[in-house]
Amino acid sequence: MRRSEASSHEARDRQARRPRPPGATPGTAGRDAWEPARSARVSAGSGGRAPSKIPIFFAAAEVGTYRPVSTDSCPPLFGPAFDADPYPAFDWLRRNAPISRVPLPGCEAWLVTRYEDAVATLTHPSLAKDPAAGSPEWQAAGLGLPLDHRPSLARHMINADGADHARLRRLVSAAFTPRRIAGLRARALEITDDLLDRLDGPEADLVTGLAYPLPIAIICDLLGVPEEDRAVFHRHASVIDSAAASEVEEIARATDGLEAFLDDLVELKRSRPGNDLLTDLVRRSNEGEIDKDELTSTAFLLLVAGHETTVALIGNGLLALLRHPAQARALRDDPALLPDYIDEMLRYDGPVRNATWRFPTEPVVIGGQEMRPGEPILVSLLAANRDPGAFADPDTFAPGRIGEPHLAFGRGPHYCIGAALAKVEGEAAIGRVLERFPDLTLAVDPAELRWWPSMIMRGLFSLPVRLRA
């Protein structure tokens, strides 16, 4: 991409630039945690048990506090206290209302919390991912990803089913083979070392200094974003990542800028092919295997949404070690244990709160509850990964545990295609931090840490640490 093009984008979208606002929702799927519920009741299915209705959003009191929409005895499911520690609420749900009806702004949704039910939901052949399969109430509420209704950016594999999903996934999968991922390990270590070299003070923020820039650099390498254009991409992506869902105009401006950026990047790959995933997708587009909107949507998905899981994995994983110093010492003494530790970090406090939306295409019964066509379903991966029915002593951080595989990356045909890459990046970042900073400690009280108030992702705004004793 030419410098002049990048400059024109900067001028065109200058208004989209701004610092991350306090309390803003990171993640393309987040919503304001404090938005008042505007529940338009969707009738429950007639089969199975009478569904439980649990308050998931809050109505703001005049004094600025938060209170549940209903008087149900379930602990609050959104708000700062829940963001900091959602697990007591999930434990209550698993025991009392494992599949619940939850009021959201504009509609209701099913929330699945037990491991067995989560697996059944994630793998059910009659549950669609295409947003067009959602109920009219869900469509009107605008609860999907902010870009689900923009065809030029929403026609990617997460929103596809059946043959279209298989085709789009196959076109991307060549970039995520074990051989390609192994080849990226050295690059991840190189970037990590460079980022850690810049942390020359006694304290640092390991989210802004490491967890965020590492996966951005890797995914830009993978897709072939030129070094000179990455600042333009980063500016637009940071607005989409950090803006609250209610900031529609700001998100739209940033999205327009990013869409133009991706269009120019695609044209660059047509005229000057490289050895990268986007060049390969452009070639497949020329051969008729993927259309223009699918190409742009896939590039958007990988660039913008593709890094968030790894950001949260690294931040949450480092925090788990800071909270469990004996485990950190054991890992430092035997780095070969790192893959087991990464897997337990993903189970214990994973990066994804809820799997993205699913919709029945016909009446479906899971866990004794009937779900009607179009009714939106969320699967709580965090809750399922702490289910005592699947994991012994699930609230204990126990690397090397034997039992059911965790669900942090999902299950079934929509299992995260970048899971192996995320693990490689997590291993590089966490392993190097332990190696280079043996006296690492948390620089603030854990209660001061601020968590993303996102419906989909679970991650930290920052992780202040003392690098040396």
DSSP string computed for 162-221: HHHHHHHHHHHHGGGSHHHHHHHHHHHHHHHHHHHHT--SSEEETIIIIITHHHHHHHHH
Lowest mean pLDDT among 20-34, 101-115, 135-149: 20-34
29 by Cβ neighbours in 10 Å (0-12 / 13-18 / 19+) ranks as: buried
- C-beta pairs of 204-208 under 8 Å, 24+ apart in sequence: 204/464, 204/465, 204/467, 205/462, 205/463, 205/464, 205/465, 206/314, 206/315, 206/318, 206/433, 206/463, 206/465, 207/311, 207/314, 207/315, 207/459, 207/460, 207/461, 207/462, 207/463, 208/462
pLDDT at residue number 21:
28
CATH (domain of 130): 1.10.630.10
Digit-coded pLDDT (tens) for 369-394: 999 999 999 999 999 999 999 999 99
Q: Which of 18, 5, 7 is nearest to 253 (CA)?
A: 18
Q: Quick one: average pLDDT of 343-359?
A: 97
Q: Output b/e per residue, 153-180; b: 16+ Cβ within 10 A.
A: bbbbbbbbbeeebeebbebbeebbeeee
**CA–CA dist 268, 254 (Å, integer):** 21
pLDDT tens string 156-203: 999 999 999 999 999 999 889 999 899 899 999 999 999 999 998 899
Among 82-91, 115-124, 244-253, 438-447, which is the least confidently predicted range? 244-253
Whether pLDDT at 36 is above 50? no
Cβ proximity of 132 and 270 under 8 Å: no
Mean pLDDT of 352-376: 97
SS3 100: strand
Mean pLDDT of the 312-336 span = 97
- What average pLDDT does this structure show over 206-216? 95
The β-bridge relationship of strands 107-112 and 203-205 is unpaired
Domain count of the chain? Answer: 1
Tokens of 120: 């059944």
pLDDT at 244: 55
Q: Which domain holds residue 11?
A: 3-466
Answer whether residue 272 shows pLDDT above 50. yes
60 pLDDT higher than 90: no
Q: What tens digit of pLDDT does each residue of 110-165 get? A: 999 999 999 999 999 999 999 999 999 998 887 765 555 567 788 999 999 999 99
Mean pLDDT of 358-370: 97
